[in-house]
Amino acid sequence: MIIKSAEFVKSAVKPSHYPEENQPEIAFAGRSNVGKSSLINTLLNRKNLVKTSSTPGRTQLINFFLINDSLGFVDIPGYGYAKVPAAVKKTWGTMIETYIQTRKTLKGVVLIMDLRRVPGPEEIAFMDWLNYYNIPFIRVLTKADKLSKTQQKQQQMIIAKSLSADKDDFILFSTKSKTGKKPLWDAIKNLLPKNPQQ
Ligand SMILES: Nc1nc2c(ncn2[C@@H]2O[C@H](COP(=O)(O)OP(=O)(O)O)[C@@H](O)[C@H]2O)c(=O)[nH]1
Ligand SMILES: [Mg+2]
């Protein structure tokens, strides 16, 4: 994918604040600090279009970006941050479920998980949600550079098993080595409507 332009559009909490539904959209989700912002920046060849942070749980807004004037990228705030009070968790859940449920241009979700961690109830609940609303999703295991090749394979097997999935259902990714960048773009393109001009 050649990135001609990538710009921040706006932040939103509720549908009346979302940008208009003018193009297909892909959303990115994952636990706080999993590397979601870094992954989006890597896909877009940008250093800091999406702000990365070493303090987890900061972003509590849905951030909309526009790529090449024809594709939307949406950064969904991270879940599972332990220190967030129950009331905030509830608001978060409502905000995300509303987005998933109402956004007509949402073509799929990239669900980002840490290769070093077995997915927990939050990930499983999120996938159940997506299945319930018939939203296709791509499973990515990031921070692959933190493990040796042997460990990567082992972890991929363990994670696949824990989700009753196949090891090939996951894309290994690293913002450091750029592993997985092309396979992830290919998977994203597969979710987008075919454009005869491209
Ligand atoms: N080694 C390594 N570190 C990463 C990778 N992706 C993200 N990080 C680091 O993980 C931290 C959280 O990243 P960020 O993108 O802000 O996570 P977010 O909260 O999910 O958006 C930052 O310190 C990043 O530099 C990766 O693939 N490899
Ligand atoms: Mg982030």
The CB of 176 under 6 Å from ligand 1? The reply is: yes
DSSP secondary-structure letter at 52?
Answer: P
User: CA 100 from chain center: how many Å?
Assistant: 13
The residue written with tokens 């295991």 in the block is 141
Given the candidates 3.40.50.2300, 1.10.10.10, 3.40.50.300, 3.40.190.290, the CATH classification of the domain at 6-191 is 3.40.50.300
Residues lining ligand 2 (ion), CB within 5 A? 37
State the number of CA atoms in the 13 A half-sphere of 9 facing the CB.
Answer: 24
Residue 49: pLDDT over 70? yes
The answer to whether the CB of 142 is under 6 A from ligand 1 is yes
The answer, yes or no, to whether any atom of ligand 1 lies below 6 A from the CB of 53, is yes
Residue with tokens 């950064």: 75
Backbone angles phi, psi at 159, to 5 degrees: -65, -45
- Partnered with residue 166 across adjacent β-strands are none
Following DSSP, what letter does each residue of 113-156 receive, concatenated? EETTS---HHHHHHHHHHHHTT--EEEEEE-GGGS-HHHHHHHH
Rounded to 5 degrees, φ, ψ at 38 are: -60, -40
Helix axes 181-191, 36-43, angle to 10 degrees: 80
**What pairs with residue 172 in β-bridges?**
141
pLDDT at site 76:
92
- Which pLDDT value is given to residue 79? 72
Q: How confident is the model at residue 48, as a pLDDT?
A: 83
User: For ligand 1, what atom is nearest to the CA of residue 57?
Assistant: 19
pLDDT digits (tens, 9 = 90+) for 39-48: 999 999 998 8
Q: Which of 44, 49, 52 to probe ligand 1 with, by most ligand atoms within 8 A of CB? A: 52
Query: Residue 55 has what pLDDT?
Result: 55
What is the spatial distance between Cα 1 and Cα 186, in angstroms, rounded to a whole number?
9
175 lines ligand 1 (CB under 6 A): yes
Ligand 1 within 6 A of 180 CB? no
Domain boundaries, the chain: 6-191
Question: Residue 26's pLDDT is what?
Answer: 98
Q: What rounded mean pLDDT belongs to the chain?
A: 90
pLDDT the model gives residue 51: 77
33 lines ligand 1 (CB under 6 A): yes
Q: Alpha helices of 22-85 — where are they, by DSSP H?
A: 36-43
Does position 60 have pLDDT exceeding 80, yes or no?
no
Pair 115, 142: CB distance under 8 Å: yes
197 has pLDDT over 60: no
Top pLDDT among 18 and 89 is at 18
Q: For a substitution probing ligand 1, which of 34, 38, 61 has the most ligand atoms within 8 Å of its CB?
A: 38
Positions of E strands within the chain: 6-12, 25-30, 62-67, 71-75, 106-114, 137-142, 170-172
Give the pLDDT score at 82: 55
Beta bridge mates, 30? 112
